[in-house]
């Protein structure tokens, strides 16, 4: 399984919209759209998990693809850097 970062998602998009878009390239195991902790509003990015072969095809096909007038940023997710503790 690969985790894919998807950025610049239109605020009107739903998890099902993203699942359908990526599902054309392989089996999608999960979609997580990230919300602001305090407001609960969607932040415009998320993560998709899918099989390795489908993930590579989806990244190549969907990076820069227009979705409701916004070019998507699609690439392999990088591990989150540790945040400093104060």
Q: Bridge-partner residues for 58, per DSSP? A: none
Mean pLDDT of 11-30: 97
pLDDT at 86 over 80: no
Could you give all domains of the chain from N- to C-terminal order, each with its CATH number? 2-76 (3.30.70.330)
Percent of the chain topping pLDDT 90: 90
pLDDT at 82 over 90: no
H or E, element range at 55: helix 52-62
The pLDDT tens digits of the residues spanning 27-39 come to: 999 999 999 999 9
Q: Which two tokens stand for residue 36?
A: 């602001």
């Amino acid at each position: 399984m690969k985790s894919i970062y998807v950025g610049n998602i239109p605020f009107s998009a739903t998890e099902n919209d993203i699942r359908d878009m990526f599902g054309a390239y392989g089996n999608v195991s999960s979609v997580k759209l990230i919300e602001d902790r305090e407001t609960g509003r969607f932040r415009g990015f998320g993560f998709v998990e899918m099989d390795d072969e489908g993930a590579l095809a989806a990244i190549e096909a969907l990076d820069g693809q227009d979705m409701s007038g916004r070019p998507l940023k699609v690439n392999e997710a990088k591990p989150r850097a540790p945040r400093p503790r104060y």
